[in-house]
Amino acid sequence: MNSVDMTMASVACIGECMVELRQAQGGQAGQGGGLYSRGFGGDTLNTAVYLARLEVKVDYLTALGDDALSEEMVAAWSAEGVGTRRVVRLPGKLPGLYMIQTDAKGERQFFHWRDSAAARQLMSLPETDELLNSLMSYDIVYLSAITLSIYDAPGRERLFAAIKRARLLGTRFVFDTNFRARGWPDRDVAREVFAAAFAAADIVLTSTEDLLALYPGESHEQLMERIPTPELVFRLAEPVSLLRFPGGTGEVRAEPMSKPVVDTTAAGDSFAAAYIAARLGGSDPVEAAQAGHRLASLVICYPGAIIPGYAMPPKKRHRPAITRQATK
């Protein structure tokens, strides 16, 4: 990937952010009257926040309601430096909601209320054409399998068609295989959509956890062969990434942890942000994967998806820019 001026580089992150209810400390399932703290959560939103903190210009593309919670989300994203000009507001609609419940052994269980969430309508609105045409103005379009799972088949086809048009003008499509079985009607549908995303992508960020859930029993080599994209980052169960890119392959191992792991939430989301930021800044895939592991290793030392701003690593100076080129 050619490097670009980081003050001008832009990423469009597409997805859904939901209201999160997390069980307060001291409360356990089955005891009744538990207290919950409220927050917000979403995989591509987490990536957008970390991209903004890494000084990449990023917009979040989604749909929200006109309620107080949606307003609070937009304000929080703006405060983090995430662009909200592509957020469509739908009167009378609400964001989705999920609840995290923890048992006596500390095991987590998730409950979702999202079937009528505003974000699910993003590909079927009067504003959709304008939103999709805007993808051509970005250096990178980033989305995950969770993003694709919230749209119906016509909506996914519409999105893929827009991405293909944008690629003709030099936009790069980065697909993250963040797979959650509960979001799909069955695994056959998921496999079909994954194949379409692999065929359209310039960069795929994936893991054994995601792919073995869809293609059980296959080796690392077999799983990687399923993905024809020119640039592939394949994260293993241990903190190691296998890389394939034009002109070579590589293996990147995360540095040993110096602090205890507190919460693995957003490890993959932050890895994606650091990888994309490094590639936009001119780093090669090996250097970008090293940056991804560094940030992910830091994020998992703090509770929650978004770590405190003061805990972010020192900013890195980027290489001189080269103009992006259209796909041939």
Sheet holding 203-207, edge to edge: 87-90, 57-65, 10-14, 140-144, 172-176, 203-207, 231-235, 240-245, 248-253
Cβ atoms of 17 and 72 within 8 Å: the answer is: no
Look up residue 318 and give its two tokens.
């980027």
Cβ atoms of 167 and 34 within 8 Å: the answer is: no
pLDDT at res. 2? 58
Cβ atoms of 238 and 274 within 8 Å: the answer is: no
At 254, give phi and psi (nearest 5°). -65, 150
List CB contacts of 10: < 8 A, sequence separation 6 or more: 56, 57, 58, 59, 137, 138, 139, 140
pLDDT tens track for 216-260 = 999 999 999 999 999 999 999 888 999 999 989 999 998 887 788
pLDDT at res. 306? 83
Confidence of residue 102 (pLDDT cuts 50, 70, 90): low
Domain 10-17+42-93+119-311: top CATH class: alpha beta
List CB contacts of 206: < 8 A, sequence separation 6 or more: 176, 177, 223, 227, 232, 233, 234, 235
pLDDT tens track for 303-324 = 778 888 888 988 765 554 444 5
Query: Can you give the residue ranges of every domain in the chain?
Result: 10-17+42-93+119-311
pLDDT at res. 205? 98
- Tokens 């792919």 belong to which residue? 211
- Residues classed as catalytic: 269
**Dihedral of alpha carbons 16, 19, 25, 26, sign:** negative
> Mean pLDDT throughout 183-199?
96
Other beta carbons less than 10 A from residue 290's beta carbon:
20
Instruction: Count the alpha carbons within 13 Å of 38 in the hemisphere toward its beta carbon.
Output: 7
pLDDT tens track for 135-151 = 999 999 999 999 999 99
Q: Which bin fits 217, alpha (ψ -120 to 50), beta or left (φ > 0)? A: left
Q: Which bin fits 146, alpha (ψ -120 to 50), beta or left (φ > 0)? A: alpha
Residue 160 pLDDT exceeds 70: yes
pLDDT tens track for 38-85 = 888 899 999 999 999 999 999 999 999 999 999 999 999 999 999 999
Instruction: Count the alpha carbons within 13 Å of 12 in the hemisphere toward its beta carbon.
Output: 25
Other beta carbons less than 10 A from residue 181's beta carbon:
11
Q: How far apart are CA 291 and CA 152, in angstroms?
A: 35
SS3 (DSSP) at 12: strand
